């Protein structure tokens, strides 16, 4: 397992990050803990969760798994806040000082830890001034409850705005961004990835397998396999496009030639892109986890990369995934984008 700096910090994280969105949801507690232990034994030291995953159950399970045998001390633990925690309370959501401090305290309790290594904003929010959010996060760092702070699905201009505000106000700055990024949608290469490289921001892509599309289990003439894209559409009603299958078929062909799985090719490609720190794997089963971990041993040649680039050119999108995920920025009196 290769270890890389988390942006401009001195912290080293594994080239793959274990995502835990399935834990407590489609994966039971016992299986989830076994998978966390297996990932750590395989060399992963970077675990990502969120307070919104399974209504906090994912955090609780992660905390339980890391609470024994000194695992917490060796793990770079990341979580996120923003999404509603109580549908009846308008203040139990968002990026206000009130909510972030309360959400952090709740996450610390569920995670059974005194500190969070990387505390991330799950989405941006237009009707909360960035200085209010940054001051709250800075206070959490100064209190020793958070080590570093990051973002998820922030536009490049929002990242730069936040960096400017941090510098102007003398506050701790963001060290990471978590965009969606994979071979079927390379939109992040247009502005987010260049901005991150310019300012020393770690990039931790979520959904590097596009919800299972890049595993190769869905074919152009058969989308009956169980999973998020069963029937040719995902849970957000996004359809698989003919162009997406062109890319999937290229990934399957490269995998066949290299004697590995399509998932491993997609993950190895992601981890090898300029500016990428650690793609987040989100396994539901031990079989999926074992397969994903195998990506760390896959080396893509220049010829392999060129074959994939021909199918999925830089900055291209075979299906609109990034833009759809951006639509959670609330504006006053305007609802959603």
296, 260 contact by CB (below 8 A): no
- Position of tokens 């290469």? 189
Q: Write down the residue that tokens 């960035």 correspond to.
A: 130
Closest CA to 214 of 318, 126, 118: 318
Residue 182 contacts residue 205 (beta carbons within 8 Å): yes
Letter string b/e over residues 292-330, b meaning 16 or more CB atoms within 10 A of that residue's CB: bbbbbebebeeebeebbeebbeeebbbbebbeebbebbb
Helical pair 262-272 and 242-258, crossing angle rounded to 10 deg: 100
Distance CA 94, CA 97 (A): 9
Handedness of CA 139, 280, 205, 323 (dihedral sign): negative
Termini Cα distance of the chain: 40
Residue 142 · residue 171 · CB < 8 Å? no
Residue 118 is inside which H or E element, if any? strand 116-121
Q: Kindly give, in sequence order, each residue whose CB lies less than 8 Å from that of residue 159, ignoring residues fewer than 6 positions away.
A: 151, 174, 177, 192, 195, 196, 199, 201
Of 53, 148, 218, 321, the active-site residue reads 53
Catalytic residue status for 322:
no
Provide the annotated active-site residues: 53
């Amino acid at each position: 397992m290769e270890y890389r700096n988390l942006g401009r910090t001195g912290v080293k994280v594994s080239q793959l990050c274990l995502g835990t969105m399935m834990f407590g949801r489609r994966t039971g507690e016992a299986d989830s803990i076994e998978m966390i232990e297996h990932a750590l034994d395989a060399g992963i030291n970077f675990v990502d969760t969120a307070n919104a995953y399974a209504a906090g159950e994912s955090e609780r399970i992660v905390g339980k798994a890391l609470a024994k045998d000194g695992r917490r001390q060796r793990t770079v633990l990341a979580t996120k806040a923003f999404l509603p925690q109580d549908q009846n309370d308008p203040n139990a959501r968002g990026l206000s000082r009130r909510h972030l401090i309360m959400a952090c305290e709740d996450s610390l309790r569920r995670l059974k830890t005194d500190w969070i290594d990387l505390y991330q904003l799950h989405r941006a929010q237009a009707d909360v001034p960035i200085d209010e959010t940054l001051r709250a996060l800075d206070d959490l760092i100064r209190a020793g409850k958070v080590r570093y702070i990051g973002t998820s699905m922030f536009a490049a201009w929002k990242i730069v705005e936040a960096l400017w505000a941090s510098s102007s106000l003398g506050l701790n700055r963001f060290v990471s961004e978590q965009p969606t990024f994979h071979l079927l949608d390379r939109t992040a290469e247009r502005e987010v990835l260049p901005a991150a490289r310019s300012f020393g921001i770690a990039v931790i892509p979520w959904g590097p397998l596009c919800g299972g599309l890049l595993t190769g289990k869905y074919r152009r003439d058969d989308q009956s396999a169980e999973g998020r894209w069963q029937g040719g559409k995902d849970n957000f009603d996004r359809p698989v496009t003919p162009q997406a299958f062109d890319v999937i078929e290229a990934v399957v062909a490269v995998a066949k030639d290299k004697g590995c799985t399509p998932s491993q090719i997609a993950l190895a490609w992601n981890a090898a892109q300029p500016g990428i720190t650690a793609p987040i794997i989100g396994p539901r089963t031990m079989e999926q986890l074992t397969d994903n971990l195998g990506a760390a041993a896959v080396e893509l040649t220049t010829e392999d990369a060129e074959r994939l680039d021909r199918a999925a050119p830089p900055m291209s999108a075979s299906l609109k995934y990034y833009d759809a995920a951006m639509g959670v920025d609330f504006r006053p009196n305007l609802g959603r984008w």
